[in-house]
Amino acid sequence: MKRNEVMAIIATSLMLFALCLSASAKDRNEKVINYSTRIDDDNNRKPTVTVCPERPTPPTLGPAFCPEEGTRYGYSLSNQSFSILYNKVKKASFDDNKFDLIEVASLGCYYSCSQAVRLMKIFTFDDERLKALSMMAPHIVDPQNATDIYKLFCFDSDKEKAGEIMRKCK
């Protein structure tokens, strides 16, 4: 791999990581849910400090809670953020570059099962899809919809491997 290609991958990876971090600061309604400490300084009033929690507190009881699993962060990427990631992965020339982009994006992003399926469809072979799933599975927010993932595979052995990957991530 040439030096320019490596630099392009690094730059793209950093941009995707920054995108994922900014995307995690918004909920499904595109409202900001994560603030840094901010001090307003105006000549007419005293400075005020506003501190907000980094992430919303997930519910402790209900269908999304399991004592063995704990809780998962409940927001997947917005459609706009996911489209940017999807297009970057799709335009990457080699599968190794695609896997690198997915791996970097998975450091700070969460996916729905339908988003994971769309990214996995970029790959032709089931082994590649399973590798992509293993990178994204710990960051899937709706594992109850894993049947969408299983439907992507043709052979029962690959469906079982996908099920095992999903079970390991709980």
pLDDT digits (tens, 9 = 90+) for 78-122: 999 999 999 999 999 999 999 999 999 998 889 999 999 999 999
In whole angstroms, how far apart are CA 159 and each of 98, 124, 132, 162, 167? 22, 16, 14, 5, 12
What does the domain layout of the chain look like in residue ranges?
3-168
Question: What is residue 112's predicted lDDT score, i.e. its pLDDT?
Answer: 93
pLDDT higher than threshold 90 for residue 131: yes
Task: Tell the residue number behind the tokens 């918004």, with chain if given.
Answer: 26
Structure tokens at 50: 């506003």
Q: How far apart are CA 125 and CA 120, in angstroms?
A: 10
Terminal-to-terminal C-alpha distance of the chain: 36
Question: What is residue 5's predicted lDDT score, i.e. its pLDDT?
Answer: 78
Question: What is residue 2's predicted lDDT score, i.e. its pLDDT?
Answer: 76
Q: How far apart are CA 60 and CA 76, in angstroms?
A: 19
Contact 110, 24 (CB under 8 A): yes
pLDDT digits (tens, 9 = 90+) for 35-44: 444 444 455 5
pLDDT digits (tens, 9 = 90+) for 3-36: 777 777 787 777 766 666 665 555 555 555 554 4
